[in-house]
Structure 1
Amino acid sequence: MSNTASNPPRRPRKVRAPGLWRWHLWAGLAGLGVLLVAAVSGALLVYQKELVAAVVTPDASLPADYRHQQLAEELSALASLRGIDPSLKLKAPSQLEPYWTVRHAEGLELLALGSLQPYTNNLWFLDVISFIRELHVDLFSGEIGEALLLVAGVLALFLCISGVILWWPGRRGFRWRWVLPKKLRPSQWLQYHRHTGAVSSPILLLILLTGSLMLWQKLIFPLLPPNPVFTVKSAEPQTPTTAIGRGYLLAHSEIDGSWPTYITIGREQGDVMLKVRFRLNGEWHLNGRTTVWLNTRSGELRRTERADNMPTTRRLLNQLYPLHSGFGMNIPYRLLTLLSGIALAWLCLTGGLHYYKRWQKRSAKAR
C-alpha cells in the first residue's frame, strides 16, 4: 500500500480572515468601556417601573372606576397647588404607574391619587433610578456622552456582524455549555464570548440599531421632517376656558380611545396653554406619539396627526423607543431586552478578559 492510501490527506483548515479579526478586536477595545456601562445601566432600567412600584409605592393601584373626569379634577388641583410653570412636567397615572409623577428642578415626586400627597418611603430608590437613567442616556456629560454612546453603538453593530462572520465557519462546533457554563474557566473566555455572541446577535442587532438611530436623529439630523401640526377650533370657541381640568377634557375629546401621558401647563403670549401627550389604546410607545395643544382662554386646539393615522415610515420611526427599551411591549420581548443587556455586558467582559490574558502571555514571553 502506498503511503498516500494509508494516510489520506487532511481537509484544508479553514483560516479566518486576519483583517476582519483585527478590526473586530480593535473595535471591541475602542468601545469596551462605554458599551459595558450602557449594557449594565440599560439592563437595570428594563423593569424600572415595576421596581419603583415594589420599593416606593407598594400599595398604589389604579381604581377600576378611575376615569378622565377624576383625572381632570386632580390635574386642576395640581395646577392650583403648583402654579403655571412650564418647567413642571406632569405624567398622568396609568396601570403601570398608578400615581402622579411630577418632575421639577429639585427632582422627582410621586403623588398619591385622590389626596395628591407625595410618597415618602424609600425615596433614595428614585435617586438611584435617576442616576442610572442619566448614566445610560448621556453618561452624565450631555451631548458629549450622547456622541460617545452613538459611536459605541455603531462599533457594536459592526462587532455583531463581524463576530457572526468570524464564527460562521465553525458553527457546527456550537455547544450550549459555552453559553451557559456550569463553571467558569478563565481558559475558555474566548469560547464563552463566541458562543454567547452567536446566540444573542439577532436581538442585540435590533436593540443596538434602534438605540443608534435615536441618537443619530437627535445629534446628527432627523430621519424624517417634523410631525405636522394641525389647527382645530374647539366646539366652544366663544367661551373662555380658564379651568385646566375642563381644558384637559376638551383636549381629550379630540383624541378618542386614548389616555394621557405627559402634561405641561405654560403660557403663550399671556394665555395659559395646556400641552397633553396621548397614548392610543394598543400603541406600542408607552408614552404615546399624539400631542394636543390647547389655549385655555380661546379654546383653540392644535394637534399632531393621530399616531395610528401617520404614514408608515413615521409609525416605524415611532417604534424605535419601545423596541429599544421594551417599554409597552409584551412579556417575552421585555425579557429578551433584559437578556440582551446581560449578554452585551458578558460579551464585553469575556472579550476584554480574553484580550488581557493574551496580553499577559505576550508580556511574559517578551521578558
Structure 2
Amino acid sequence: MLSPTALRRWSWTHKWSSLVCTVFMLLLCLTGLPLIFHHEIGHLLGTEVEAPAMPAHTPRASLDQVLTAAHALHPERVVQFASQPEDDDALWFVTLTPTPAPTQDFKSIAVDARTAAVLSERPVNEGFMYVMFRLHVDLFAGLAGKLFLGFMGLLLLVAIVTGVVLYAPFMRKLAFGEVRRERSARVKWLDLHNLLGIVTLVWALVVGATGMINTWADLMIKYWQHDQLSTLLKPYEGQPVVPVAERGPLQQSLQAAQALAPGMKLSFIAFPGTAFSSPHHNTFFLRGETPLTSRLLQPVLVDARTAQVTAAPQLPWYLTALLVSQPLHFGDYGGMPMKILWALLDIATVVVLGSGLYLWLKKGAQAASPAVPAAGSARGGFAGEAPLPAPGATRSTEGAA
C-alpha cells in the first residue's frame, strides 16, 4: 500500500500530466474519429477513385506509360512517388512535386494501370478530410508539430500509468464500475469518468503508444538513411542525382525488383533524390499478402541507369515497429468491425477527457467559492483525493466518500 507521501507524488504527477495533454488529446480524438472511416467518407464525398470494370486478365500498361501520362499534366514538376492501393492493383497514384525534396505542395494523379488513362487529379491539400488529417498529424506545423504531439502522447501514457496506480486506493470502498447516481452531479461524473477510463485503459495505451511512435517517423527514416543506406551507397559517393534523361526503363526496374521477391506485391516506388530513396536509385517497396505481412515492407534498390538490383536491405526493427503501429493506430487491421470498435472507444475516451476537464474546473470553482471548503480541508489533505485511471485529473472530497 502506498504511503501518503507517495500517493501525493503519484497524484501530482497524474494531475499535471493529464491537464497539460487533455486539450490536445481531445483534439486528436475528435480529428481521429473521421480518419478511422476515411475510405468510407471518401466514397460518400465522391473523392475516392475507382478503376473502371474490365476483364480480370486485361493486360497492364507499362510503368513508363503510366508515369508519362501523369507527368504530362504537370510537366514543370517531378515525379516523386508512385503507388498502388492495397485492394486495387488496377490503379496507380502518381505524386508530382516542384522538386524531389519533401514538401506539402504535391499533386496526386490517378492513372488506370491497364490503359494508362488519367482518371482523376485528386485534391490532396484541401477539404474536410485534409484539415482533419493535418490537425491530427502535425497541427499544420510540420516536424515541430509532430514532435510536440508526440510529447503530448508521452504525457498521456504517464497520466494513464499514474492513474492506474491511484485507481485501486480510490476504489477500495466502491464496487467495480459503480456509479453513485444518488449523489451530486459531480460525483456521478467522477464515477463515470473513472469507469470509462478503466474500460478504455488498454485501448488508450495502444493508441497513445502507436500515435507517439508515428510522430517519430521522419526522424526514423532519416536515421535509417544515415545508418544503413549510406553504407550501401558508398560506390555512388560524390555523384549527383541521376538526370531523368539518363534513367533506364522503369518497367524493367519494376520487373527486376519483383523478380527478387516473388510472391510480394508492390506498395510504392520512391524515385531518385526523394525522401525514401537515394540520388541514384528507384527504390521499390514491396509488401506481403497476409494481414500482417501486408503492413511490412521490403525495400529493393534498383540502379536508375542500369535497371539492375543493387541491394535489398531488411528494414531495422524500429521501422518495422513503425509500420506495424500505423494501421493499428487507426484500427485498419480487422475491417469494418474493428473500425466500429475503434470509433466507440474513441468516443468513450472523449467522454473521459471532457469529464476530467469538467471535474477539474468544477473543483477550482468550488475552491474559489467562500461557501465551499477547499478540497482536502475537511479530511486533512490527501484522504479526500480522487485519483483517475485516465487523462483529466481531478480531486474530490466527495469522490473518496
Q: What TM-score do the two structures reach when normalised by structure 2?
A: 0.68
Answer yes or no: is the 8 Å Cα contact 1:266–1:274 preserved in 2: yes
Q: Distance in 1 between matches of 2:255 and 2:207?
A: 37
Q: Distance in 1 between matches of 2:317 and 2:273?
A: 34
Residue by residue over 1:56-105, the C-alpha shift from the partner in whole angstroms, topping out at 9 and shown as x without a partner, is: 256725858657961x5255332354179655322214416964333334
Amino acid at match of 1:359: G
Answer yes or no: is the 8 Å Cα contact 2:327–2:333 preserved in 1: yes
Q: Distance in 2 between matches of 1:124 and 1:87?
A: 16
Structure 2 counterparts to residues 248-267 of structure 1, below 5 A: 248-266=254-272
Q: Which moved more, 1:89-98 or 1:132-141?
A: 89-98
Equivalent residue number for residue 7 of structure 1: none
Q: Distance in 2 between matches of 1:125 and 1:241?
A: 30
Q: Which runs of 5+ in 2 are unaligned?
A: 98-104, 234-245, 373-401
Answer yes or no: is the 8 Å Cα contact 2:217–2:322 preserved in 1: no
Q: Distance in 2 between matches of 1:258 and 1:37?
A: 38
The Cα shift of 1:353 comes to 0.9
Q: Distance in 1 between matches of 2:316 and 2:143?
A: 30
The Cα shift of 1:218 comes to 4.7
* RMSD of Structure 2 on Structure 1 (CA): 4.1
Residue by residue over 1:244-266, the C-alpha shift from the partner in whole angstroms, topping out at 9 and shown as x without a partner, is: 22322222222212221222334
Q: Distance in 1 between matches of 2:42 and 2:90?
A: 11
Change (3 A) 1:226 1:196: farther
Amino acid at match of 1:88: Q
Change (3 A) 1:139 1:267: closer
Q: Distance in 1 between matches of 2:322 and 2:120?
A: 36
1:242 aligns with 2:248: yes
Change (3 A) 1:153 1:163: same
Q: Which moved more, 1:133-142 or 1:109-118?
A: 109-118
Q: Which moved more, 1:218-227 or 1:245-254?
A: 218-227
Q: Distance in 2 between matches of 1:101 and 1:176?
A: 52
Equivalent residue number for residue 237 of structure 1: none
The Cα shift of 1:117 comes to 2.8
Question: Residue 369 of structure 2: SS of its match in structure 1?
Answer: helix
Equivalent residue number for residue 12 of structure 2: 22
Which of 304, 324, 336 is the aligned partner of 2:312?
304
Answer yes or no: is the 8 Å Cα contact 2:110–2:119 preserved in 1: yes
The Cα shift of 1:195 comes to 0.8
Structure 2 counterparts to residues 24-103 of structure 1, below 5 A: 24-57=14-47, 60=50, 70=60, 73=62, 76-82=65-71, 88-95=80-87, 99-103=91-95
Question: Residue 117 of structure 2: SS of its match in structure 1?
Answer: coil
Change (3 A) 1:151 1:77: closer
- Provide the identity percentage: 18
Residue by residue over 1:267-292, the C-alpha shift from the partner in whole angstroms, topping out at 9 and shown as x without a partner, is: 79xx9843221121115375642122
Question: Residue 174 of structure 1: SS of its match in structure 2?
Answer: coil
Q: Distance in 2 between matches of 1:326 and 1:163?
A: 25
Answer yes or no: is the 8 Å Cα contact 1:284–1:329 preserved in 2: no
Answer yes or no: is the 8 Å Cα contact 1:153–1:209 preserved in 2: yes
Answer yes or no: is the 8 Å Cα contact 1:150–1:212 preserved in 2: yes
The Cα shift of 1:16 comes to 10
Q: Distance in 2 between matches of 1:330 and 1:62?
A: 24
Answer yes or no: is the 8 Å Cα contact 1:193–1:351 preserved in 2: yes
Amino acid at match of 1:138: D
Equivalent residue number for residue 109 of structure 1: 108
Equivalent residue number for residue 195 of structure 2: 195
Question: Residue 327 of structure 1: SS of its match in structure 2?
Answer: coil
Answer yes or no: is the 8 Å Cα contact 1:39–1:344 preserved in 2: yes
Answer yes or no: is the 8 Å Cα contact 2:252–2:307 preserved in 1: no
The Cα shift of 1:168 comes to 2.5
Q: What TM-score do the two structures reach when normalised by structure 1?
A: 0.73
Answer yes or no: is the 8 Å Cα contact 2:331–2:339 preserved in 1: yes
